[in-house]
Each structure stands twice: as structure tokens, then as C-alpha cells.
Amino acid sequence: MKKNEISSQWEIVIRFLFISLFAFGFLYPLTITGITKLFFLEKANGSLIRLDGKVVGSELLSQKLNSNSMFRYRPSAADYGKIPSGASNLSPSSLELQTMINERKLELDRLGIRHTVCSELLYSSGSGLDPHISVGCAREQAEFLHRVSKVPLDVINELIQQNIEYPIWGMMGRDRVNVTKLNLSWKQMTHE
């Protein structure tokens, strides 16, 4: 190969590299961001929950509880920190995991919440930030909240019923309760 041919090939490679970087590193993300902001503004901004104009959370993330008299989330391996998030990656045979599960069982028993009904309160989710629990687990916590708040049990169960999210298109997923939304409704109702 001649020197001119090699330099010509390098020019093509370098041009292709810069065009690709511009197209896929700038134009494509900008276009997708623009489309999502145009058609899915609420989701593109993080599905934020606002109360009196102030952001109080995201319906996609669990939060660290600042009160004992609220509905409980699944545990978080990252202590509800958004960065980094994730699971503990402990194996089922891990003594550390078994110790954490046993401590959580004791805590639920102490509160009068049956861990056999609320097994999701024993294990963190893959992201460690999942805000959803089963409807059964939310209802199991109703008795505890009734005891600590003196709010009538039927009122608490109605609040849970109002916050049930059903499967997508009636078939993807299961009935579940978003604890972030439920706790916000609970705070508004109890003025906590």
C-alpha cells in the first residue's frame, strides 16, 4: 500500500468516528429527549409527585421513612439512596442475608405484621428502590396503622383500595400498591 492510500483510509475512519459521535452521542439523545418531553412530559421528568407545588417524591422510587406510623416499603440494600442503587447480591445461603431476614421478621412480629403475609418486607428488590408492595401486604399493615393512629380500620382499607394499581393492559403484572402514593394519601388524611 502506498502512503497516500493509508492516510486516505485513516481520514475516512476519523471522519466516520466524528460523524458517529455527533450522530449517536448528540443528535440521537437530543431527538429522543425531545420526543419524550413532547409526548410523555410527566414520565420524562421522573414521574414526580408534587404537593402544593413542591416535589415530595417520585412514584417510581421508595423513600426512607421518617415516621413509624406509615406504610412500610420493601427494605433497601442501599438504604434508599438513589445513587448507587441495587441489590445486596448476597446468596440465599449467606449467613449475613439470613441474619438480616431474621431481624426483619422480628421487627415485623414486634409491630404485629405477619411476615408470612408480607414476605416482600423481608427481601429487598433488585433495584433496592421498588415502591410497590402487594395488596395483601398493604392490608396486613392496616391493623398496625389502626393501632398507632386510631384511624378506623375501614377508612385505612378504603385508602388502600383507592391506591391499588392494576396490571398493565389487564394482564402484565399483578395488583399492587405504590407505597409512595399511599403514604402521601395517608399523610394528607392524618395531617402527619
pLDDT tens, residue by residue, 128-172: 677 889 999 999 999 999 998 888 999 999 999 999 989 888 788
Average pLDDT, the chain: 83
Gap between the terminal Cα atoms of the chain = 78
C-alpha cell at 191: 395531617
The helix/strand/coil state of 27 is helix
User: What is the tens place of the pLDDT at every residue in 74-106?
Assistant: 887 766 555 665 566 778 888 988 998 899 999
**For residue 48, what is the enclosing H or E element?**
strand 48-51
The three-point CA angle 164-165-166 to 5° equals 115
Mean pLDDT within 28-50? 82
Residue 33 pLDDT more than 80? yes
Taken as a whole, the chain contains a residue count of 192
Predicted local confidence at residue 192, as pLDDT: 62
Predicted local confidence at residue 156, as pLDDT: 93
Give the domain ranges of the chain.
3-43, 57-190
Residue 55 pLDDT more than 70? yes
Mean pLDDT within 66-79? 77
The helix/strand/coil state of 162 is helix
Phi-psi region at 5: left, alpha or beta (left = phi > 0; alpha = psi -120 to 50): alpha
Decide: pTM greater than 0.85.
Answer: no
